[in-house]
């Protein structure tokens, strides 16, 4: 039997980058996947790839700054598959380097909504189903940036730090229901989001990981093999670890 055979997974931000790699890895491990992002065309391409590999996939176009869209993701997953076993909160906004004094308040609120409030609300939406089934795995994608602040990165790093704390808090609340909640803190990963914000030259300054490396860790946490791990934030920095500089 495959590691995630017959399990139902929701992966946000799964049209590209880390989210796409996780969705594809989960499907390869036997899961049926609900993919969600804002771009319908990109989502359908991922869904087609998953279906071609023999798994079911349901694409939900959604804006994670909209609470109604967040609830709709959970509702459509239950309507289509009857249950939710796995949730990966991956979607996020990576903003350009800008000091707080110059930060656009509208962008600040959007970063907070997508990077922090959306994961909280989506956990809130799926937990009743997981609690009823007395099982579930939730994986939040934070960042190594959530471990420490940095110049010009106030909004992004504040949300990623808060997501680590949120992970620990929810894990403490739901462990008695058989649900594990963990967090992954990637270092520099070669994704369209990173390239679009910082450029390819920035990637050359660090040890760079592939999205599939983060997906492999997510797969471990989502599987029964990771059952001893909960309430934990795992650094996944590869060769970009400061120890190696």
Domain annotation covers residue 217: yes
Give the pLDDT score at 205. 66
Per the domain annotation, does 214 fall within a domain?
A: yes
Tell me 95's DSSP state: P
Structural domain boundaries, residue 32: 8-235
Q: pLDDT digit string (tens) for 136-153?
A: 999 999 999 999 999 999
DSSP per position, 96-164:
PP--GGG--HHHHHHHHIIIIIHHHHHHHHHHHHHHHHT-EEEEEE--GGGGS--TT-HHHHHHHHHHH
Asked if residue 117 belongs to a domain, the reply is: yes
Q: Is 147 among the residues known to form the active site?
A: no
Q: What is the pLDDT of residues 173-195, one digit of tens each?
A: 999 999 999 999 999 888 887 77
Q: Within a domain: residue 245?
A: no
Query: Of 14, 140, 145, 156, which one is the catalytic site residue?
Result: 156
Residue 242 lies in a domain: no
| Angle, helix 154-174 to helix 105-112, in steps of 10 degrees | 20
Number of domains in the chain: 1
Question: Does residue 164 lie within any of the structural domains?
Answer: yes
Give the predicted TM-score (pTM) of the model.
Answer: 0.95
pLDDT tens digits, 16-54: 999 999 999 999 999 999 999 999 999 999 999 999 999
The pLDDT, as a whole number, for residue 204 is 66
């Amino acid at each position: 039997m495959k590691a995630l055979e017959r399990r139902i997974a929701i992966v946000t931000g799964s049209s590209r980058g880390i989210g796409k790699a996780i969705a594809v890895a989960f499907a390869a491990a036997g899961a049926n996947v609900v993919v969600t992002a804002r771009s319908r065309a990109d989502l359908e391409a991922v869904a087609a790839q998953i279906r071609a590999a023999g798994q079911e996939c349901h694409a939900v176009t959604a804006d994670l700054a909209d609470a109604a869209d967040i609830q709709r993701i959970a509702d459509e997953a239950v309507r289509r598959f009857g249950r939710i076993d796995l949730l990966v909160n991956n979607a996020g906004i990576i903003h350009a380097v800008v000091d707080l004094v110059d930060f656009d308040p509208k962008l600040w609120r959007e970063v907070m909504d997508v990077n922090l409030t959306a994961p909280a609300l989506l956990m809130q939406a799926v937990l009743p189903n997981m609690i009823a089934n007395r099982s579930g795995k939730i994986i939040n994608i934070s960042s190594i940036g959530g471990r420490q602040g940095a110049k010009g990165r106030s909004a992004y790093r504040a949300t990623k730090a808060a997501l680590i704390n949120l992970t620990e808090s929810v894990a403490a609340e739901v462990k008695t229901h058989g649900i594990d909640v963990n967090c992954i803190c990637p270092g520099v990963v070669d994704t369209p989001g990173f390239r679009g914000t910082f450029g390819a030259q920035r990637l050359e300054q660090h040890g760079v990981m592939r999205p599939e490396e983060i997906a492999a860790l997510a797969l471990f946490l989502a599987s029964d093999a990771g059952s001893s791990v909960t309430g934990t934030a795992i650094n996944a920095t590869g060769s970009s670890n400061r120890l190696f500089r």
